[in-house]
Amino acid sequence: ETGVTQTPRHLVMGMTNKKSLKCEQHLGHNAMYWYKQSAKKPLELMFVYNFKEQTENNSVPSRFSPECPNSSHLFLHLHTLQPEDSALYLCASSQDSAAIATGGYTFGSGTRLTVV
Amino acid sequence: GIQVEQSPPDLILQEGANSTLRCNFSDSVNNLQWFHQNPWGQLINLFYIPSGTKQNGRLSATTVATERYSLLYISSSQTTDSGVYFCAVVPPTGRRALTFGSGTRLQVQP
């Protein structure tokens, strides 16, 4: 256990469903991130939150909607996804602002999403 | 944005062998990390090493920031070392989050 917990671990959803991914960190960090890892590709940054404020949106389609109610929790709301959105979604946190990231990033175990 | 290149892309070793993985990056960096991704997808932080040398057991890493590269050394490899090794960096300007390389897929055979 790394201190960053993601739920659920696996998710299968239809293209018309609405679901949410949850990330929780118990490390006292102030920056949180969503990354996407498609098969045989490097990790792609999706969103960055610093002190609950979104500071980066890497041109992510609007069918992905992040929410950061406090520094410990991060959600990714999903609706009307496409089969090509099937991937491993990873959450990470770092101690201070993303630009400094003292001590580095800590990743959760990920949610493996399958869109059918 | 910053470019991160890792080599080799694939590596097969016999148990007990040593190896060196390389990460080249195209700009100066504030942060560099090496990760090991296991078969279940978990990314394990191996080293936070924007500069200098660190060692942890059979693993060690060196980053020469002025020459824009980092090396990860694995000695006396074990089958549990198998997986994908990623290098990731944060530049001082531009995107303020980790940018990942494509990884080195390591297979250690018994």
DSSP, collapsed to helix, strand or coil, labels residue B66 as helix
Query: Is A48 in Cβ contact with B98 (below 8 Å)?
Result: no
Going by pLDDT thresholds of 50, 70 and 90, the confidence category of residue B30 is confident
Q: Is the pLDDT of residue B94 over 80?
A: no
d(CA B51, CA B44): 20
* Interchain CB distance below 8 Å, B90 and A107: no
Min Cα–Cα distance to chain A from B1, Å: 12
Chain A hits for B43, Cβ within 8 Å:
90, 107, 110
Mean pLDDT for the stretch of residues B77-91 = 94
| Average pLDDT rounded to a whole number, residues A35-55 | 91
Q: Which candidate from A41, A105, A110 shows the least CB-CB separation from B33?
A: A105
**Residue A97 clears pLDDT 90, i.e. is over it:** no
Q: Among residues of chain B, what percentage have pLDDT more than 90?
A: 82
Residue B1 confidence (pLDDT): 86
CA distance A5 to B10: 30
What are the counts of helices (DSSP H) followed by strands (DSSP E) for chain B?
0, 11
User: Phi/psi zone of residue A73: left (φ > 0), alpha (ψ -120 to 50 degrees), beta?
Assistant: beta
- Give the Cα separation of B87 and B36 in Å (integer): 9
Lowest mean pLDDT among A37-41, B48-52, B85-89: A37-41
Q: If you ran DSSP here, which 8-state letter would residue B30 be given?
A: S
Whether A80 shows a pLDDT value over 60: the answer reads yes
Among A80-84, B74-78, B88-92, the range scoring the smallest mean pLDDT is B88-92
For CA atoms B95, A46, A107, A49, give the dihedral sign.
positive
Mean pLDDT over residues A36-49, rounded? 91
CB pairs below 8 Å between A and B: how many? 66
Listed by number, the residues of chain A in 27-56 with a beta carbon closer than 8 Å to a beta carbon of chain B are 33, 37, 41-43, 45, 48, 55-56
On chain A, the residues whose CB falls within 8 A of the CB of B61 are none
Asked whether the beta carbons of residue A98 and residue B90 sit closer than 8 angstroms, the reply is yes
**pLDDT surpassing 90 at residue A21:** yes
Q: Check if B42 contacts A (Cβ < 8 Å).
A: yes
Q: Which of B35, B96, B103 sits opposite A98 (nearest CB)?
A: B96
* pLDDT score at A42: 85
Q: Is the pLDDT of residue A2 over 80?
A: no
* Residue in the structure block whose two tokens are 């404020």: A53
* Residue range A9-28: mean pLDDT, rounded: 95
Decide which of B39 and B53 is more confident. B53
Q: Which of A74-78, A94-98, B97-101 has the lowest mean pLDDT?
A: A94-98
What does the pLDDT read at residue A101?
62
pLDDT classification of B92: cutoffs 50, 70, 90: confident
The more confident residue out of A48 and A104 is A48
Q: Best residue in B96, B99, B100, B104 to probe A by mutation, most A CBs within 10 Å?
A: B96
